[in-house]
Amino acid sequence: MRLSAGVLCRAAGAAWRENFPLHGRDVARWFPGHMAKGLKKMQSCLKLVDCVIEVHDARISFTAQGRNPLFQETLGLKPHLLVLNKMDLADLTEQQKIMQHLEGEGLKNVIFTNCVKDENVKQVGRFRLRPDVCEQPLVFLLDTPGVLAPRIESVETGLKLALCGTVLDHLVGEETMADYLLYTLNRHRLFGYVQHYGLGAACDDIERVLKSVAVKLGKTQKVKVLTGTGDVNVIQPNYPEAARDFLRTFRRGQLGPVMLDLDVLRGHPTAKTDP
C-alpha cells in the first residue's frame, strides 16, 4: 500500500504516543460465560485424541500463546501442531524471527496458513506428528469450539485479542479498540489508514480520525442539544459507526498486513498502565 512522499515525510517526523492508557479497564468480564462449558468439554476430549492441532491468529502469534493452563500438562504429553491462520493479514517480513521465538517457547511444529485461499492448508494434513504411523492412516478429526483462557493476563493482551475478533467488541468498546488500533499502527509506522480514508496526514488523535472517517462515509447522527431557547437538533459525526468501520477495515486487511505482536518480537516494552 503506497503512500505519497509528503504523507510519509510528515508521518516520519510526527511524535506518536509512547504508551496507551490501560488503567481502570476490567478484563475479567471480557471472558464470555459460555466458554466455561466449552473448556470442560475440551478437557474431556483431550483424553481421546492422539495429537492436537491448535489454531491461532497469525497477527497475534505470541499473544495467542496464552493457552489455558489446564491443558498444558496434557498437551505436553501429546504430539502438537500450531497453525497460525490468516497469514495474509499478518506482516510476516520477520517470519524467521517469529519461528525462532516460538521454538524458544517449545513450539517446534508450526505452520502458517490462509484458509480463505487454501494456502498451506494441505500441509496440515501432511504434517507427520508421529513417525511411528503408516503413510496414510485413517484420521478422525474432533473439532472443538474456540475458547480463551479463563484469565486474560493483561488489558493489552485483551485488546489484541479483541482486535482479532476473539473477544466480543461490545465487551471492550469499539472506540477503545479503534484507539488502540490507531496507537499500534502509528507506533509501528503503518500508515495505510491515511490512504484508505483519504486523510491529509497520519494522526494520533482517535477523535479526529473517527470524525474524518464518519464524514467521508456519510455517517452522521442528529443529537439534541439543550440551549437557552430550548432543544436544538445538531448534526454530529457518528463516532461509534466510524469506529466499527475502522475495525472492519483492519480485519479485512484493507489497511495492509499487521503484526500486533511486533513489540514482543523485537523485545520492546509494550503499552504501560497509566498510574
Known binding-site residues equal 85-88
Annotated binding site for GTP: 85-88
Crossing angle, helix 206-217 and helix 174-187, to 10 degrees? Answer: 110
Phi, psi (5° rounding) for residue 164? -90, 10
Beta carbons within 8 Å of 216's beta carbon, 6+ residues apart:
197, 198
Q: Which residue has the cell 490462509?
A: 114
Residue 217: DSSP 8-state? H
Crossing angle, helix 155-163 and helix 239-251, to 10 degrees? Answer: 80
CB 214 within 8 A of CB 239: yes
Q: Which amino acid is at 65?
A: Q
C-alpha cell at position 92: 510476516
Cα 12 to chain centroid distance, Å, stands at 25
Residue (of 209, 212, 202) closest to 11 by Cα position = 202
Phi, psi (5° rounding) for residue 254? -80, -10
Residue (of 32, 117, 24, 101) closest to 64 by Cα position = 101
Separation of alpha carbons 217 and 272, rounded Å: 33
Separation of alpha carbons 244 and 234, rounded Å: 22
C-alpha cell at position 272: 504501560
